[in-house]
Structure 1
Amino acid sequence: MSSQEEGAAEQDPNTEEPSSSSSCENDVTTGDIITVTIGATVPTGFEHTAAEEVKEKIGVDTRISKDRGRIYFPITTDKLFQVHLLRSVDNLFVVVEEYDHYQFKGSKEETLMELQQLASKLPWTNALEVWKLNCTLKKKKGYRKGGNGTKVKPNTVATNVLVPDSEHQELPQEMSATESQTKIESRPDVESCTQEAAPQDKVIKFRVTCNRAGDKHSFSSNEAARDFGGAVQEFFQWKADMTKFDIEVLLNIHNEEMVIGIALTEESLHRRNISHFGPTTLRSTLCYGMLRLCKPQPSDVILDPMCGTGAIPLEGAIEFNSSFYIAGDNYDMAVNRTVNNICHIQKRRVEKGSPSGLPIDTVRWDLCNLPMRTSSVDIIITDMPFGKRMGSRKKNWDLYPSCLREMARVCRPGTGKAVLLTQDKKCFSKAISRMGGLWRKLHTVWVNVGGLHAGVYLLKRTGAVFGQTPEDIYESRGPVNTQGDGKDVKELF
Structure 2
Amino acid sequence: MEKILLPTQNIRELQADASGGDVVITVTVGATVPTGFEHTAAEEIEEKIGVEAKISKDRGRIYFPITSDKLFQVHHLKSVDNLFVVVEEYDHYQFKESKEESLVDLQQLASKLPWTDALEVWKLNRALKKKKGHRKGGSGGKAKPSSEVSDATAADTEQQELPQAEVSAAEGQTKTEGSTDAEAYTQDSEEAAPGAKVTKFRVTCNRAGDKHSFSSNEAARDFGGAVQEFFQWKADMTKFDVEVLLNIHNTEVVIGIALTEESLHRRNISHFGPTTLRSTLCYGMLRLCKPQASDVILDPMCGTGAIPLEGAIEFNSSFYIAGDNNDMAVNRTVNNVCHIQRRRGDKGSVSGLPIDTVQWDLCNLPIRTSSVDIIITDMPFGKRMGSRKKNWDLYPSCLREMARVCRPGSGKAVLLTQDKKCFSKAVSRMGGLWKKLHTVWVNVGGLHAGVYLLKRTGAVFGQTPEDIYEPRGAVNSQADEKDDKELS
Bin the TM-score by the shorter chain. 0.7 to 0.9
Corresponding residue number in structure 1 for 2:123: 132
**Equivalent residues in 2 for 1:264-413 (5 A)?**
264-413=259-408
**Equivalent residues in 2 for 1:70-469 (5 A)?**
70-148=61-139, 162=142, 171=144, 173-175=146-148, 178-183=150-155, 187-189=163-165, 191-192=167-168, 194-195=170-171, 199-202=193-196, 203-469=198-464
Counterparts of 2:460 and 2:337, CA distance in 1: 35
CA drift of 1:244 comes to 1.0
Closer, same or farther: CA 399–221 of 1 in aligned 2, 3 Å: same
Closer, same or farther: CA 386–193 of 1 in aligned 2, 3 Å: farther
Q: Secondary structure at the match of 2:274?
A: coil
Tell me if structure 2 keeps the 8 A contact 1:26–1:37. no
Residue type matched to 1:195 in 2? E
Corresponding residue number in structure 1 for 2:4: 19
Counterparts of 2:50 and 2:26, CA distance in 1: 14
Closer, same or farther: CA 243–403 of 1 in aligned 2, 3 Å: same
Tell me if structure 1 keeps the 8 A contact 2:9–2:28. no
Tell me if structure 2 keeps the 8 A contact 1:439–1:462. yes
Counterparts of 1:360 and 1:149, CA distance in 2: 27
Q: Secondary structure at the match of 1:30?
A: coil
CA drift of 1:341 comes to 0.1
Higher relative contact order, chain-length normalized (CA < 8 Å, sep 6+): 1
- Unaligned 5+ segments in structure 1 are 1-15, 151-161, 164-170, 476-493
Residue type matched to 1:20 in 2? L
Tell me if structure 1 keeps the 8 A contact 2:136–2:163. no
Tell me if structure 1 keeps the 8 A contact 2:10–2:28. no
Tell me if structure 2 keeps the 8 A contact 1:424–1:454. yes
Closer, same or farther: CA 274–46 of 1 in aligned 2, 3 Å: same
- More displaced, 376-385 or 465-474? 465-474
Tell me if structure 2 keeps the 8 A contact 1:146–1:190. no
Counterparts of 1:426 and 1:101, CA distance in 2: 39
TM-score of the aligned structures, taking structure 1 as reference length: 0.87
Corresponding residue number in structure 2 for 1:13: none
Which residue of the other structure, out of 34, 49, 57, is the alignment partner of 1:58?
Answer: 49
Corresponding residue number in structure 1 for 2:180: none
CA drift of 1:199 comes to 1.5
Q: Secondary structure at the match of 1:293?
A: helix
Tell me if structure 2 keeps the 8 A contact 1:23–1:97. no
Corresponding residue number in structure 1 for 2:14: 29
Q: Secondary structure at the match of 1:387?
A: coil
Counterparts of 2:365 and 2:268, CA distance in 1: 27
CA drift of 1:181 comes to 2.6
Counterparts of 2:424 and 2:171, CA distance in 1: 57
Residue type matched to 1:457 in 2? Y
Tell me if structure 2 keeps the 8 A contact 1:42–1:172. no
CA drift of 1:188 comes to 3.4
- Unaligned 5+ segments in structure 2 are 17-22, 173-188, 471-488
Report Cα offsets for 1:359-403 as digits up to 9, x if no partner: 000000001000000000000000000001100000000000000
Corresponding residue number in structure 2 for 1:159: none
Pairs aligned (count): 441
Report Cα offsets for 1:401-436 as digits up to 9, x if no partner: 000000000000000000000000000001001101
Counterparts of 1:149 and 1:402, CA distance in 2: 39
CA drift of 1:22 comes to 8.0
CA RMSD of aligned residues (A): 1.8
